Each structure stands twice: as C-alpha cells, then as structure tokens.
Structure 1
Amino acid sequence: MIEWRNLYRGLMMGASDIVPGVSGGTIAVVLGIYERFIEAINGVFTKEWKKHLAFLIPLGVGIVFAMWSLAGIINWALNHYPNQLMFLFLGLIAGVIPFLAKKSNYQETFGATHFIILILAALFVGSMVFVNQDPAGEAITEFGPSIYIMLFLSGWLASSAMILPGVSGSFLLLLIGMYPTFSNAIHNLVIEALIPLGLGIGLGLIVMSKVLRYLFHRFYYQTYALIIGLVVGSLVVVFPGFESDMVLNVFSIIFLIIGLLIAYGLGKVEH
C-alpha cells in the first residue's frame, strides 16, 4: 500500500537538498525514516520490491516536486535572507541530535571508539567551513559528450553525499562549480541535463545505500556514532554567523527557535 505520508517527508527532504550545507539525509533522520530509507533503496532489488516501492515512490515524488517548485523560492531566500533561512535549518538539525542520542542509547552503548568516530566525523564535516563556498558561476546551457559525463558524475557525487546525514550534496556541487547548472536544470526542467544527472543520482543512491546498509548490519552503534558526528559537524557549516543589523539577528533567532520546535514536533510524531 502506497505510504502517502511520505509525500510531505519528501517535500521536506527535497527543500533541504536545494540548500548548500544542508543534507536531505539529515532531514530523513529528523523524520525518523533514515534506516528505512536505506533499507527501501536496497529492497527494490529483492522479492519485496513492491513494499519498498510503495515507500519510495511518494517520497521520490515529494523530493522531485520540492526541488522543482521550491528551487526559485529557496534561491530567492538565499539571496535576500540567507541568515534567517540558514538559522531555520540550523534549528532543524540541532533539534534532531537529542533523538539520535536517545536512539543510539549512547550512555550504555558508546565506548572510547564510538566517541573517537563521532569526533572525527564532526571534524571532517566541520572542516568544510574553511572551503571556498562562492556560488559564482554560470549554468551550463550547451551540451556535448564531455558535459554529459560531467553531469552524470556530478549527480553520482551529489547523491552519494545527499544520503549521508550532515553531508550536503548541493554543497559538493557548489565546490565543483556545478550547482548553478544543477539548480537551473531543475527549476527550468532542462531535460538534456536532467537525464544524465538523474542517472548519476540513481546510481549514487544505490551504491551508497548498500555501503550504509552493510554498516548498519555489521557496526550498528559505530554507524550511529558516525551519523551523530556528521550531524554535529554540519552545525558548524550551516551556521552563518550574525549580522550587523540587530533586527535581522532577532529574526534569525526566531527562525532558529522555529526550526527547533519543528524538529521537536516531528521527532515526537515520527520517532
């Protein structure tokens, strides 16, 4: 039976995937569906493929619709009110950490190795704040064989990151100069660019989901330590700093609180 509730979950994941620095995987954690999301992608190739597609199809529709319909709004917000938008996501991300800690039962299950993994993961993601994030660049509008290959590899890289909590696929596209092309292709439905991007994204999701499924099955609590570290580290990347205008800073704090409340509410319902 189709899980229609996944439409709104997909909308939230898709909206977050547009924002450089924010991961759709993190939102999946907020929503309490991360492990099931990984299992469903792997389950497409098993005898229970119908059940897993019933989970994935509405989720995928929500993600794609959000990325298409909200790309313009998100980009407008990033251009006009970047701090307030990032504080909203900062609240969402920070709000999921208590639920992750509770789910991992860290007080009883974590040892020195787990905390080392957590710290290293946080440092790895946090270090991305020192990388140049200048989004300047023009979208590619003329296509050829080399561009198709580049789009395919970009989609693979972005989706491999997208599925990891705390690691932003849009951020990686920004680093390699492909974010303007990615955003333009989705917003304007440039089919010539979307096909190789989509193929790369699909393959990246399949490969990375298999890696994560193996880690969950063999190293469950170590994997949760890794995820918590990735989420904690992403707070550093997403935090935009404060502005000189005190009124705008007040609005930023309000949006931070809204994000925390949304995460808390979703956590209560979903977890």
Structure 2
Amino acid sequence: MGICELIPGVSSGTMALLLGIYDEFIGAISRIVTKDYKKAILFLLPLVVGMGIAVLTLTSLIEYLLDRHMVPTHWFFIGLVLGVVPMMLRISNYRVKFRSSHYILVFLAVALLFSIGLIRGDETPPENLVVTMPLLIKMFFSGILASMTMLLPGISGSLVLLILGSYSIVIYSINQLKAFNLEILPVLIAVGSGIVLGLLLASRVIQYMLSHYTYLTYALILGLVMGSVFAIYPGLPETALSWIMTVMAAIAGFTISWFMGTRNKETI
C-alpha cells in the first residue's frame, strides 16, 4: 500500500481490496477516536509501519523507475489496476444487482478520472523550495484531500497531490529528511496532519455509503478503478526493446492482481 501511494494514479485502496482488508482498514480508521481505539490501533499500527518503511526506503527507487523506465513502470501498474476489475465485478454481483443508475454511475466515475488525468498543477521546483506559511497551509489542505481520496479504490492520493502541484514537494521533502535536512520537516508535518484529519473524515463517509448505498458504492468504486487507467497511461513504447519490457510488465501486473483477487473470497 505504501508503494502504491508513491505512484500517481495507483490507489492504496485498490491494494487493500486485493489484500482482502479494505473493510477492516476503513473500519479501524473510523474507530480510532471511539472507545474501541485500542483494537483499531493494533490493526493499523503494522500497516502504518509497513507503509512508512516503503515510503522512506523506496522513494528513490520509484523516482529512478519513473525517470528511466517510465512507460514499462506505468504499464505494470495499469496491469495491476485492470486485474482488480474481475474481482470488483464478482464482489458487486453486477449481473443481478446493477440497474441503469449503477451503470451511469460507473460511466460518470470513469469520465471523472479521465478528466482528472488531463489536469496538472503548477509545481514549485523543489530545488527552489522555501518553507513559508502559505506553503504549509497549502500542504496541509493537500494532505487532507489526498488522504480522503486514497481510501477510495481507483483514486490515488499521489495523483491528487500531483494535480494540486504538491507531489514533487512531498517527494523532495521525504528525500531531504532521509538526508537529515530538518529544515524541511515542517512541510512533512503539515502534510501528515492533513492526512490524519482527511482519513478520519473520509473513513466515516465511506462506511456510511457502504452500509446504506452498498451497490451504488460498488458501482462508484468499479468506475474509479477502471477510470484510473487514464490517470496512469504514459503513452506507448518507442523501441522494440521497450515494447517487450512494457508488454511483459503489463502482463505481470495483471497476473499478480488477478491472482490476488481470486485468492480474496471476501466482500467489501
């Protein structure tokens, strides 16, 4: 899940679905401020530690892959995302439960992600980054919006950061922290605070939707998963070797995702 959040367009919520922990994940976040907070913390702590380790240790690798092998890397994640679709169709029991309104919602979600994929924010060049109060406020609200969307399969928090013009700032700040540059720490604190608040708000909304509008929510999630392909799409390879790498990467991503989906027999 931590690796997914480093890739614009790939949602950690999608990975939670594949791992069969989505319902527990959402429920634990919403219970963190209730009397059942101890159980919630025990469930979330390993996840948070694992995601934190991935972010701190793999940021440079992800940067390298996106810089040197962008097309195959993105197509690997496209395969990973498309491999979720068969599982979502099974979970939603679409042949029995879906009506015209559900299919319209799927179409609208796909169209929304297609439109979002065309948008890019104006990002501050990281090497010229100066920590100011307006920047910290921007990063706080960026964290809120990113975390609220990361809980939905199909919408990546990192994609939202990219749209808001905050993605490169976050990646730069993480790498600077790894280099023990503590001057950048306020940026990460601002983003982190926003993420925590966004998670608490979004988890309750999603739980309510799954409880009261179950199959409409399934339709929305299905549309978001399918539409996220447009956000990841990097174009086509240019050389024969790149074509081979890209096709193999896409097949590998789909196979891994599809296999994990077949192993997951639970519903959301």
Change (3 A) 1:139 1:166: farther
Tell me what 2:35 maps to. 47
Tell me what 2:245 maps to. 251
The answer to whether the aligner puts 1:29 opposite 2:17 as a matched pair is yes
Change (3 A) 1:138 1:187: closer
Of 241, 250, 256, the residue aligned with 2:235 is: 241
* 1:129-148 residue CA offsets vs partner (Å, 9 max, x unmatched): 32247878325643232222
Single out whichever of 137-146 and 231-240 deviates more from structure 2.
137-146
The answer to whether the aligner puts 1:204 opposite 2:192 as a matched pair is no
**Partner Cα distance (1:148, 1:241) in 2:** 34
Aligned AA for 1:33?
Answer: I
- Report deviation, 1:269: 3.1
- Report deviation, 1:86: 0.7
- Report deviation, 1:213: 0.9
**Partner Cα distance (1:131, 1:246) in 2:** 30
* 1:51-88 residue CA offsets vs partner (Å, 9 max, x unmatched): 22121111111111111111110011000001111111
Single out whichever of 216-225 and 15-24 deviates more from structure 2.
15-24
- Report deviation, 1:216: 0.6
* 1:88-145 residue CA offsets vs partner (Å, 9 max, x unmatched): 1111111111111101111111111111111111111122232247878325643232
Gaps of 5+ in 2: 178-183
- Report deviation, 1:265: 2.5
Change (3 A) 1:177 1:68: same
Q: TM-score, structure 2 length as denominator?
A: 0.91
* 1:225-260 residue CA offsets vs partner (Å, 9 max, x unmatched): 000000011112212221220210111110111111
Tell me what 1:152 maps to. 140
Please state whether the residue corresponding to 2:33 is helix, strand or coil: coil
Of 64, 82, 100, the residue aligned with 2:70 is: 82
The answer to whether the aligner puts 1:122 opposite 2:116 as a matched pair is no
How many equivalent residue pairs?
259
**Partner Cα distance (2:190, 2:145) in 1:** 13
Tell me what 1:68 maps to. 56
**Partner Cα distance (1:62, 1:102) in 2:** 29
The answer to whether the aligner puts 1:226 opposite 2:226 as a matched pair is no
Q: TM-score, structure 1 length as denominator?
A: 0.90
The answer to whether the aligner puts 1:177 opposite 2:171 as a matched pair is no
Tell me what 1:264 maps to. 258
Q: Give the conservation status (yes or no) of the 8 Å contact 1:140–1:181.
A: no
Aligned AA for 1:199?
Answer: S
Q: Give the conservation status (yes or no) of the 8 Å contact 2:84–2:258.
A: yes
**Partner Cα distance (2:238, 2:133) in 1:** 47
Change (3 A) 1:134 1:30: farther
Q: Give the conservation status (yes or no) of the 8 Å contact 1:110–1:221.
A: yes
Aligned AA for 1:263?
Answer: S
Please state whether the residue corresponding to 1:188 is helix, strand or coil: helix
**Partner Cα distance (2:128, 2:168) in 1:** 8
Of 111, 131, 150, the residue aligned with 1:162 is: 150
Compute the RMSD of aligned alpha carbons: 1.7
* 1:172-198 residue CA offsets vs partner (Å, 9 max, x unmatched): 212222111100122232422211111
